[in-house]
Structure 1
Amino acid sequence: MRLRGEIHFDAALSEAEIEVAGRVYGRPMPRLAYLPCGGTLRHAPPLLKRGVEHLVAVDLSRASLTVGLTRNVPEALWSKLSVHHADVRSVSEFLPGGGVRFAFLGGNSLGDITDIEGHVAFITSLAAALAPGGVLVFDYVGERYPPDGADAATEWPETYHGDDGDVPVVDRRTRQVRPVPGTAMSILRFTSEVIDAQTGNPIVEEHAYDKLIVPDSLLIQQFAEAGLELTNAGRVADLSPYHRERIRRRGDLGMLGKPDCFYRAVRI
């Protein structure tokens, strides 16, 4: 979280994402909303700005929630938040019995659980959080993989905010996809390394994490089995002037190197 371009503290990007989410939702924001996998709470202020009166945010990372409260959410808004360090599968612990009318899942978080049974259970828990007719909006790269040779490896200049001042660095990333045997799904292995632009020495050692890639046809089926009607609302660049300009000006397709789509899932 020390890179200048770190999205966790990019208020303009977060505002634009919630603007798209509101358009995809297609209704006035309800009084109560839900932010599963809320992370650094970067989407909380724009949701509250758009009419949500109380927001329930849940994440497994206590550190992310703590940093988010101190850096992303003004203290004047804290009374409008219920922040829970908890598992999103424990819906009854933090949401009313009738569910919510609107939930937003950002950051490509749908792909975070790469175990297939866990992924299906995650979708089931998202459905359980919604009232009948309630809507989940989320962003997802999904089947925009496998990456071709042009973006399987990327690097670009960045600034690292070190303890002793700012350091010019290179943000180097790789992406590889492998199939999940016996399924139409695949796993994206994403690596990141930050090196000193002058010396070539590592500032942040190479580290990796995985994302589950599910083609839309199968994703629609998985959501239907959980009682949700899923629609792909389109590429974010087609829905957001901000994102179109960001991509044109910076070539920024986000950490995964492919354009996100926004999805709308309605509890039947």
Structure 2
Amino acid sequence: MVRAHYDSEPMLRLAGEIHFDAGLSRAEVRAAARVFGEPLPDLVYLPCAGTLRHAPPLLAEGARHVVAVDLSGPSLTAGLGRNVPAGLRGHVTAYHGDVRDAGQVLPECGVRLAFLGGNSLGDVTAPEGHRQFLHALARSLTPGGVLVFDYVSDRYLPAGTGPTTSEWPQVWHGPEGDVDVVDRRTRTCRPLGTSGMALLRIRCDILGLHDGRPLAPPHTYSKLIVPDPLLKEQFAEAGLELTNTGPVADWSGYHRDRIDQVGDLGMMGEPDCWYRAVRR
């Protein structure tokens, strides 16, 4: 599911999709650095790095090298071409693979800081895979090392029992040129048995702004939803002490302004929070 979502060609064509949003990426990195609370270490690990959009801001904030790991080869390739200037590519190690195998490109002793942006914690939707994901993140850290990430938890669930739909104006880089469109996201949710977790399903429809005509096949992706109390238990089981440090907008003026003025951040906007996990 993770690879299928991030390899989605229609999603990569949305101008406002986060894959190539430099302003948002810079703001996220600055906020994450504040949550970390120290000068950035020389090496920063980017699990689920996607299009490498956080790599240049991390280097600008003081890191000297970024190790980026992602399952999606097309995302990494697109990111190296569009997000990472040629002069910075020597400071980025891009590894196409599973975060469970990240030890192949990380220091044996672990890293001081890992940064997981874009609500990626919910990308692994199978409960056992999620557990392995958390343990892999913990293994990547040196004792006392910190994982900083944003996560929506259960704060973006559909209202009531039916689906909830949000729409934003967008530009789609179509095969024949740019087209003004509506980006419609429809959210549904179902519990995962008695686990206390749930699966948030999001359908994306790209529709012509003026005629409502679909310009691409509908694309559906899912996020694992874990309420904060259960998430804290899961992190503790992986050897990590978890703290919810508060809404993203409390850490970033950019987020506050964008939420107030445009409101197009969805799960990465008002309901999103920054978390800090320390390896014991």
Which TM bucket (shorter chain)?
over 0.9
Deviation at 1:92, TM superposition (A): 2.1
> What corresponds to 1:264 in structure 2?
276
Is 1:11 matched with 2:22?
A: yes
1:201 aligned partner, one-letter code: R
Is 1:215 matched with 2:215?
A: no
Moved more, 245-254 or 119-128: 245-254
CA distance in 1, matches of 2:118, 2:50: 9
Deviation at 1:256, TM superposition (A): 6.5
Deviation at 1:255, TM superposition (A): 5.3
Regions of 4+ moved over 3 Å: 255-258
> What corresponds to 1:156 in structure 2?
168
| Aligned equivalent of 1:184, options 189, 196, 199 | 196
| Aligned equivalent of 1:52, options 59, 63, 69 | 63
Is 1:117 matched with 2:128?
A: yes
CA contact (8 A) 1:237 1:259 kept: no
CA contact (8 A) 1:141 1:258 kept: no
What's the CA shift string for 1:127-152, capped at 9, x where partnerless? Answer: 00000000000010012142226981
CA distance in 1, matches of 2:145, 2:267: 30
What's the CA shift string for 1:17-39, capped at 9, x where partnerless? Answer: 00110000001100111000000
Segments of 5+ residues of structure 2 without an aligned counterpart are 1-11
> What corresponds to 1:236 in structure 2?
248
> What corresponds to 2:13 in structure 1?
2
Seen in structure 2, the aligned counterparts of structure 1 residues 232 and 266 have a Cα distance that, compared at 3 Å, is same
2:80 aligned partner, one-letter code: L
CA distance in 1, matches of 2:114, 2:268: 23
Seen in structure 2, the aligned counterparts of structure 1 residues 110 and 256 have a Cα distance that, compared at 3 Å, is same
CA contact (8 A) 2:163 2:188 kept: no
> What corresponds to 2:4 in structure 1?
none
1:4 aligned counterpart, secondary structure: coil
CA contact (8 A) 1:91 1:128 kept: no
> What corresponds to 1:29 in structure 2?
40
> What corresponds to 2:180 in structure 1?
168
> What corresponds to 2:9 in structure 1?
none
CA contact (8 A) 2:247 2:270 kept: no
> What corresponds to 2:138 in structure 1?
127
CA distance in 2, matches of 1:257, 1:98: 35
CA distance in 2, matches of 1:230, 1:81: 28
> What corresponds to 2:49 in structure 1?
38
Seen in structure 2, the aligned counterparts of structure 1 residues 258 and 208 have a Cα distance that, compared at 3 Å, is farther
| Aligned equivalent of 1:61, options 72, 95, 99 | 72
CA distance in 2, matches of 1:202, 1:41: 29
> What corresponds to 2:264 in structure 1?
252
Deviation at 1:227, TM superposition (A): 0.6
CA contact (8 A) 2:259 2:269 kept: no
Matched residues, number: 268
2:63 aligned counterpart, secondary structure: coil
1:81 aligned partner, one-letter code: V
2:60 aligned partner, one-letter code: K
CA contact (8 A) 1:144 1:258 kept: no
1:192 aligned counterpart, secondary structure: strand
Seen in structure 2, the aligned counterparts of structure 1 residues 264 and 257 have a Cα distance that, compared at 3 Å, is closer
Deviation at 1:257, TM superposition (A): 7.0
Segments of 5+ residues of structure 1 without an aligned counterpart are none
Normalised by the size of structure 1, how large is the TM-score? 0.96
Deviation at 1:199, TM superposition (A): 2.8
CA distance in 2, matches of 1:145, 1:49: 32
CA contact (8 A) 1:21 1:104 kept: yes
Normalised by the size of structure 2, how large is the TM-score? 0.92
